[in-house]
Amino acid sequence: MPVYSIAGLNVEFKSRFGYIEGKCIDYLSETDAPADVTVVATDEDLRRERLSSSGAFSEEYIESVCLYRNLCLMMLSFDGMLLHSSVISVGGRCIAFLARSGVGKTTHTVLWKELLGEAVTVINGDKPIVRFENGEPIAYGTPWGGKEMFQSNTRAVLTDLCFIERSETDSVEPMSMSCAVDRIMQQVLLPSEPQDALKTLELADRLLKACRLWYVRCTPTLNAAKTVHKTLFGDVK
């Protein structure tokens, strides 16, 4: 079976279908090293996902969702977790935009690309993995990049967390850890197993302490990206 390099690990998927191989093709391992983890989706995993899905999805797609969820749970053993966000790298910093689904984190990412062009690298548009390595939170691109498939097989040290809310005006202000705790817990995969849940809480706490925290109220306009950029970097030159 193919081995993929995802979030710094060699990953093997045991899949019933070929869908996962096409999805992960950009992440094929360039070495002959054996897999660090082997990910399986059980029949029960697929059954539960079908019941919870709001649309009529193919079996291949449902299996890929289950495989990624199980991979993210396995990442806990490697100081890693899923962070539901859109992550970009720009100007020597790595910024995660976090928001409830539909609020506009992908829109904000597109606006940054419009504002700064090739200076912005989109690491992942929806489901990056963040792992702590040598005490630093590393944001990794994954094949699961959301509807727009914004993803790249790259990594960067995560420096800023921007918690986004839709507004009629654009503003940015620092956010306290106490305010950020509830918000970040809405954007992680919280396991049902108590030990795994505690590990997720620990990683979320470490992430909040390691990054600059921002509360962003924004419109879906280019001025929103300009306002956030000015706060984080200064005016665009």
pLDDT of residue 138: 98
Please tell me whether residues 51 and 121 are part of one structural domain.
no
Q: Give every residue of the chain whose pLDDT is below 70, as ranges.
A: 55, 235-237
Show which of 44, 78, 112 is a domain's final residue: 78
- The SS3 assignment for 145 reads coil
pTM for this prediction: 0.93
Q: What residues pair up with 137 in beta bridges, in sequence order?
A: 132
Are residues 94 and 21 located together in one domain of the fold? no
What local confidence, expressed as pLDDT, does residue 237 receive? 53
So what's the pLDDT on residue 234? 78
Q: pLDDT digit string (tens) for 33-67?
A: 899 999 999 999 999 998 887 767 889 999 999 99
Residue 101 sits in the same domain as residue 205 = yes
Instruction: Say how far apart CA 100 and CA 110 lie, in whole Å.
Output: 17
* Residue 32 belongs to domain spanning: 4-78
Residue where a domain stops, chosen among 78, 110, 137: 78
**What is the identity of the amino acid at 49?**
E
Cβ atoms 68, 121 nearer than 8 A: no
Q: If DSSP codes are grouped into helix, strand and coil, which group holds residue 3?
A: coil
Q: Are residues 94 and 197 in the same domain?
A: yes
Residues 37 and 51 in one domain: yes
Residues 115 and 73 occupy one common structural domain: no
Decide which of 38, 54, 78 is a domain's last residue.
Answer: 78
Measure the CA–CA gap between 123 and 41, rounded to whole angstroms: 26
